[in-house]
């Protein structure tokens, strides 16, 4: 058997990659993490824009595997800001000595599988080559920013960037700022930029629904109470479809009076986090009439928060209902438009035509800026894989196999690409990310242990099992209004090169966390059904 540099290479040093290297090194496996950034943290290392923070409750986002970490760490806010989250990940890495198994500044450009030796050969952007028996990808679903293609972008004389690359020392005091986009990232940063910039102009193509985050500090006493019920917290997350503490209201929407529905919605809207979305009636996800009534409720709450009635209507979506795509959570987003220094430009009727040295031009006006922010989203789910040249058996390219959308087995493997596991890839359960990442690691690591203990050197998803999973993923979209959403989750994205606008991509598994976990357990208990072990 050919010698290799490592038994396992984990690509990505964020939440999933850190937990995987912890599991592997505890087993004494020769494993290494490669990360393109200068330090660990993944999403929380890169996304340093103003307002960047969890929309998951902090205490449901952190790792659950270590009683020591749970006992020692104090979350200071119900929804942690980026800098605290990064500090938390560094705390975990330092506690378990993870950095000694991680290499930074290592961007993987290509991965090629050698069918004769069951070896992956990785090529880094500096030409360095690394060989390994197994590759585990922890690339992050939102790690490839999607910048627009607008004439003249290189001509702008001021600062311009995607929020993913927000400059550390940027001072917006007295600056004229243009923000292009009103997605989840923009909804977080716009209120913060508005406080600092002399003028802020927001260019909106289509509005997004959003609901209040309702963040709050966590006192020492509250943190003690959280620690005392961590077992309960994680048990609740494990049994809820979304992996949060928010459990859906199981009453039938149509059996509840309008007054009772209004009482529930008022309470959820004024409560924290995803409650307004995930503690709601199940029918808002499946029933057009229920969703329409609830969407009008949210629209009225927006109208109450925006002073200018005409402007309020521009901020209310008309092409989709609330909750049928992932809901951004916000802090004073709608109130930002009440400020004298903030204006909204609707580019659905007057599109942006070009970037100029001094700003930008739409079809009917010119604007001057000192800073332009391209808050235009990410090439989600498959983008991090497409960026690499990944070749499996007979030189097949993963990018080609996924041209019309991801094709996986359990969201963890791909037929034709042996000895590769995806810890944070497409078609895993649409759930609170850390809970899903721990689930993936806790399934993948025992698979590798099983192989080492039994002398196997290769695993590969069966093509029939893979197709069965893809069919199952597609079936889980059918009862949901989500299937019509033009969002990054369903892949209806006009600003990602190579993606057909209006064509759905099966990016996520909508069967819920408990069903997904049960399926993984069943596959493992049946001797890794659907996987050929050699």
Supply 62's token pair. Answer: 């952190």
pLDDT of residue 485: 79
pLDDT means per 10 residues, the chain with 534 residues, are: 88 97 98 98 96 95 96 98 98 98 98 97 98 97 91 98 95 98 97 98 96 98 98 96 94 97 98 96 97 98 98 96 94 98 95 98 97 94 95 97 96 98 92 89 98 98 98 94 81 69 85 95 98 98
What's the full length of the chain, in residues? 534
CB 440 within 8 A of CB 428: yes
Q: From CA 453, how far away is CA 447, in angstroms rounded?
A: 10
For 6-144+380-533, the fitting CATH number among 1.20.950.20, 3.50.50.60, 3.40.50.980, 1.10.10.60 is: 3.50.50.60
Q: From CA 91, how far away is CA 62, in angstroms rounded?
A: 12
Tell me whether the CATH fold assigned to 6-144+380-533 matches the one assigned to 147-208+334-377.
Answer: yes
Q: From CA 249, how far away is CA 252, in angstroms rounded?
A: 8
CB 485 within 8 A of CB 505: no
User: What residues have CB less than 8 Å from 123, skipping those under 6 apart?
Assistant: 108, 109, 110, 111, 112, 129
Q: From CA 483, how far away is CA 504, in angstroms rounded?
A: 8
- Hey, where are the domains in the chain? 6-144+380-533, 147-208+334-377, 244-327
Q: From CA 271, how far away is CA 260, in angstroms rounded?
A: 17
CATH code given to domain 147-208+334-377: 3.50.50.60
pLDDT of residue 491: 72
pLDDT of residue 424: 86
Element (H, E) at 449: helix 433-454
SS3 434: helix
Q: How far apart are the first and last CA of the chain?
A: 14
Taking each helix axis from N to C end, the angle separating 230-239 and 433-454, rounded to the nearest 10 degrees, works out to 90
CB 77 within 8 A of CB 58: yes
pLDDT of residue 494: 59
pLDDT of residue 331: 98
SS3 493: coil
Q: From CA 209, how far away is CA 320, in angstroms rounded?
A: 9
Global pTM reads 0.96
């Amino acid at each position: 058997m050919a010698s290799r540099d490592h038994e396992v290479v984990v690509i990505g040093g964020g939440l999933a990659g850190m937990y995987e290297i912890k599991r592997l090194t505890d087993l004494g496996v020769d494993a290494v993490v490669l990360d393109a950034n200068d330090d660990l943290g993944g999403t929380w290392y890169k996304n340093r824009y103003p307002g960047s923070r969890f929309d998951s409750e902090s205490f449901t986002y952190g790792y659950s595997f270590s009683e020591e970490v749970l006992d020692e760490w104090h979350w200071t806010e119900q929804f942690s800001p980026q800098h605290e989250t990064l500090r938390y990940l560094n705390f975990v890495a330092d506690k378990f000595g993870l950095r000694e198994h991680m290499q930074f500044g290592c961007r993987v450009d290509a991965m090629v599988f050698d069918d004769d030796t069951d070896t992956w050969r990785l090529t880094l952007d500096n030409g360095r080559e690394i060989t390994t028996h197994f590759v585990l990808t922890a690339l992050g679903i939102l790690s490839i920013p999607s910048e627009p293609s607008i004439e003249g972008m290189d001509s702008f004389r001021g600062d311009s960037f995607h929020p993913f690359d927000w400059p550390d020392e940027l001072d917006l005091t007295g600056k004229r700022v243009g923000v292009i986009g009103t997605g989840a990232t923009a909804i977080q940063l716009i209120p913060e930029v508005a406080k600092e910039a002399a003028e802020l102009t927001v260019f909106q193509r289509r509005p997004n629904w959003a609901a209040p985050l309702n963040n709050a500090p966590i006192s020492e006493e509250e943190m003690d109470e959280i620690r005392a019920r961590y077992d309960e917290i994680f048990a609740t997350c494990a049994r809820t479809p979304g992996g949060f503490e928010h459990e859906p209201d199981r009453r039938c929407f149509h059996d509840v009076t309008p007054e009772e529905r209004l009482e529930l919605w008022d309470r959820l809207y004024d409560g924290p986090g995803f409650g307004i979305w995930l503690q709601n009636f199940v029918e808002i996800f499946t029933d057009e009439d229920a969703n329409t009534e609830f969407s009008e409720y949210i629209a009225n709450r927006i109208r109450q928060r925006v002073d200018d009635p005409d402007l309020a209507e521009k901020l209310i979506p008309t092409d989709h209902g609330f909750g049928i795509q992932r809901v951004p959570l916000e802090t004073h987003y709608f109130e930002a438009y009440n400020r004298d220094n903030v204006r909204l430009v609707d580019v659905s009727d007057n599109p942006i035509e070009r970037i100029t040295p001094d700003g930008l031009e739409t079809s009917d006006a010119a604007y001057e800026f000192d800073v332009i922010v391209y808050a235009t989203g990410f090439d989600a789910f498959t983008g991090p894989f497409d960026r690499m040249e990944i070749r499996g058996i007979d030189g097949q390219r993963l990018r080609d196999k996924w041209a019309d959308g991801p094709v996986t087995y359990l969201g963890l493997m791909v037929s034709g690409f042996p000895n590769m596991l995806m810890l944070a890839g497409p078609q895993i359960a649409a759930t609170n990310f850390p809970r899903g990442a721990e689930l993936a690691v806790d399934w993948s690591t025992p698979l590798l242990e099983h192989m080492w203990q039994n002398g196997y050197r290769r695993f590969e998803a069966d093509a029939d099992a893979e197709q069965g999973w893809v069919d199952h993923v597609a079936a889980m979209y059918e009862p949901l209004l989500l299937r019509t959403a033009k969002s990054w989750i369903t892949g209806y994205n006009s600003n990602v090169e190579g993606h057909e606008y209006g064509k759905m991509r099966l990016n996520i598994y909508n069967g819920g966390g408990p069903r997904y976990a049960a399926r993984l357990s069943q596959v493992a208990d049946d001797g890794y059904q659907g996987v050929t072990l050699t």
